[in-house]
């Protein structure tokens, strides 16, 4: 790999076939961290491209991860000719606000893939992330009898450390930890955050304040959009992408959501009154569920009362009642809420299989 592009066939790791599914594309994006999928034919001729945002927009429209990508492919992507000087590639990226541009030969075959992060050096995004670490973790007893739940270890490292390292890897340099139950153990382990490459501030909850209530104690600590995540959520989500999406949509509060599918084990009889009008064999019901990861604007803090318990769904409903903008951010990345002992075992297995891995920090 040289300084400006993905060469020597490395770009092939980002390719998918035209008959691939959204799930195939999401797995491709996760494995390569290149933020683009190249849709090619059997001769490596470019058909189109798709990115993380295309997948999320498809999910918002009602597509499922088993849907074919032909419904979301960009068939007219920004491309360059092979051999185009890198300074012009950079100008193309800036002008079109894209982070990857494939280079094509005279027969429309992909010869290389230019990536913004290979052109521009990473830098801090100066954003903040608040990680809720004050819960008692009663469902995790006896593991949490003498250990705060975020400090339970996965592959020899506390869950909270995994979350902080992911955020720092994306350029977040300010971490806020609301703590309550056995909070001193968290302070003792993380200190001021210097060894993690971040500045860590602590908020002490005298009483448990819920997943949103602790934000009322932020004061003037944060003055621009920020990320909030539960301290027991392990995910491969890119926090920076979520924050960018939140800001681009001019949202007040954005909730990252997961698609949860449940198959009815029985055949469903469709009726109108007493009349049978149809049958559906073991239908699949699909819903968005709260992932426990959010992007918030500072304005929402005005709708919290100091030291008053509040959970995130209640805060979102409160904001809706005030006609503020609340939206969802559909996610396809690996995700696990470590709320039960069996979830901790699942987390161990997923990390062993390399399902959760750091994302390269990218800036534009």
Task: For residue 110, give Cα distances in angstroms to 9, 86, 149.
Answer: 9, 16, 48
Residue labelled with tokens 């950079």: 90
- The CA distances from residue 321 to 56, 247, 306, 316, in Å, are 26, 21, 20, 9
Choosing from 13, 81, 199, 282, which is the catalytic residue? 282
Burial 316-339 (b: 16+ CB within 10 A, else e): bebbeeeebebbbbbbbbbbbbbb
Please indicate whether residue 13 is annotated as part of the active site.
no
Q: What 3-state class would DSSP assign to 315?
A: helix
Which pair of structure tokens corresponds to residue 338? 């470590």
Q: Which of 332, 151, 128 is nearest to 232 (CA)?
A: 151
- Per the CB < 8 A criterion, the answer to whether 233 and 302 are in contact is no
The DSSP code for 18 is: T
Cβ-contact 65, 58 below 8 angstroms: no
For 167-239, list the strands marked E by DSSP.
174-179, 199-204, 226-230, 233-235
* Active-site residue set: 282
């Amino acid at each position: 790999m040289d300084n400006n592009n993905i060469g020597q066939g490395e770009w092939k790791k980002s390719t998918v076939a035209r008959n691939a599914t959204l799930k195939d594309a999401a797995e491709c994006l996760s494995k390569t961290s290149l933020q683009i999928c190249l849709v090619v034919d059997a001769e490596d001729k470019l058909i189109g491209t798709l990115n993380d945002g295309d997948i999320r927009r498809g999910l918002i429209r009602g597509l499922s991860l088993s849907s074919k990508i032909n419904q979301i492919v960009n068939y007219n992507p920004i491309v360059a000719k092979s051999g185009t000087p890198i300074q012009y590639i950079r100008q193309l990226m800036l002008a079109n606000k894209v982070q990857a541009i494939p280079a094509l030969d005279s027969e429309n075959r992909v010869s290389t893939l230019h990536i913004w992060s290979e052109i521009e050096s990473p830098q801090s995004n100066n954003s903040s992330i608040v990680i809720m670490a004050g819960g008692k973790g009663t469902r995790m007893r006896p593991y949490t009898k003498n250990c705060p739940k975020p400090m339970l270890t996965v592959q020899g490292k506390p869950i909270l450390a995994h979350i902080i390292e992911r955020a720092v890897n994306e350029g977040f340099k300010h971490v806020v930890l609301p703590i309550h139950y056995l909070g001193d153990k968290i302070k003792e382990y993380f200190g001021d955050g210097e060894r993690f490459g971040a500045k860590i501030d602590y908020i002490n909850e005298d009483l448990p304040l819920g997943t949103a209530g602790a934000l009322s104690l932020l004061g003037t600590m944060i003055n621009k959009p920020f990320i909030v995540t539960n301290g027991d959520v392990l995910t491969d989500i890119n926090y920076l992408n979520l924050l960018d999406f939140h800001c681009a949509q001019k949202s007040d509060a954005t909730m990252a959501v997961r698609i949860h599918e449940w198959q009815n084990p029985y055949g469903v009889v469709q009726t109108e009154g007493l009349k049978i009008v149809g049958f559906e064999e073991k239908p699949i019901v699909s819903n968005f569920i709260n992932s426990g990861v959010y992007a918030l604007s500072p304005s929402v803090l005005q709708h919290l009362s100091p030291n008053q318990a509040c959970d995130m769904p209640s805060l979102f409903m409160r904001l809706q009642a005030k006609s503020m903008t609340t939206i969802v951010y559909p996610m396809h990345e690996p995700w696990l809420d470590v709320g039960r002992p069996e979830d901790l075992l699942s987390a161990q297995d997923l990390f062993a299989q390399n399902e959760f891995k750091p994302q390269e920090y990218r800036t534009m």
